[in-house]
Amino acid sequence: MDGNKDNSRDEIFSERVRAGKRTYFFDVKATRSNDYYLTITESKRRMKDDGFVYEKHKIFLYKEDFDKFIEALNDTVNHVKDELMPEVDFSQFERDEDDSYSNATSEDDTELKWD
């Protein structure tokens, strides 16, 4: 009974993105059979009574959906940038808040890469 929790969903890798009042977590986790999946969590801090609570929304993304998800996300973001808001300089929103954003220096920043 004492070791079951450790084997169920081990976290392998985690990336945090702070975005104003929201924080996004991208976590790679392992199943009991050593298969991998992602959880994408949006966390928002809200006032409640005398303190704060965190409202969380989570998406589970499985390996068979990685490429479809990335393609749809790229298409959607590029549509907003190129078709709906071409006058906006999106580079103004880039930040180097902590160690989680230092890898974003590719030549083509409009495409998400799945390495």
Domains along the chain? Answer: 4-101 (3.10.450.700)
pLDDT at 66: 97
Residues whose CB is less than 8 angstroms from the CB of residue 102 and which lie 6 or more positions away in sequence, other chains included? 96
On the 0-12 / 13-18 / 19+ scale of CB atoms within 10 A, 96 is exposed
| pLDDT computed for residue 14 by the predictor | 96
The pLDDT of residue 7 is 42
User: From the CB of residue 93, how many other CB atoms can be counted at a distance below 10 Å?
Assistant: 9
| Digit-coded pLDDT (tens) for 81-112 | 999 999 999 998 876 554 444 444 344 444 55
pTM (2 d.p.): 0.68
Q: What is the pLDDT of residues 45-84, one digit of tens each?
A: 888 888 888 999 999 999 999 999 999 999 999 999 999 9
